[in-house]
Amino acid sequence: MSNMLLGFKPTHPGEVLKDEIDYRGISQSRLAKQMGISYNILNDILNERRPITTTTAMMFEAALDVPADSLMNLQLKYNIQMAKNDTQFISRLAEIRKLAGIL
């Protein structure tokens, strides 16, 4: 329902990475071991339950040659879009803007 506010679902970098490893035929356990992270962390990223960080983006770049800055840009856009879809947060921003207009 919240995604309907702006008409689309933002792309989590995990979605792109999952497609990439599926295309290459790499198992998640093999990739996790290669990157030196737990399977659970990798699986959470790929299934959009965990954000990527600067360090994990750089590890994906080293392992898959997917540019870290592109992954971080996707994560940033995802985070902003999710915040824009959060009605409580939007109300809070409106209140901040209202108070800022008083200053």
Question: What pLDDT does residue 3 have?
Answer: 45
Evaluate if residue 4 carries a pLDDT over 60: no
Which tens digits make up the pLDDT trace of 38-93? Answer: 999 999 999 999 999 999 999 999 999 999 999 999 999 999 999 999 999 999 99
Question: What pLDDT does residue 100 have?
Answer: 87
> Is 103 or 61 the better-scoring residue by pLDDT?
61
Question: What pLDDT does residue 102 have?
Answer: 74
Angle between helices 28-35 and 39-46 (to 10 degrees): 120
Domains belonging to the chain, first-starting first, are 10-102 (1.10.260.40)
Angle between helices 28-35 and 54-64 (to 10 degrees): 110
Question: What pLDDT does residue 20 have?
Answer: 97
Cβ 79 vs Cβ 68: under 8 Å? no
Q: Which of 37, 6, 22, 63 is nearest to 71 (CA)?
A: 63
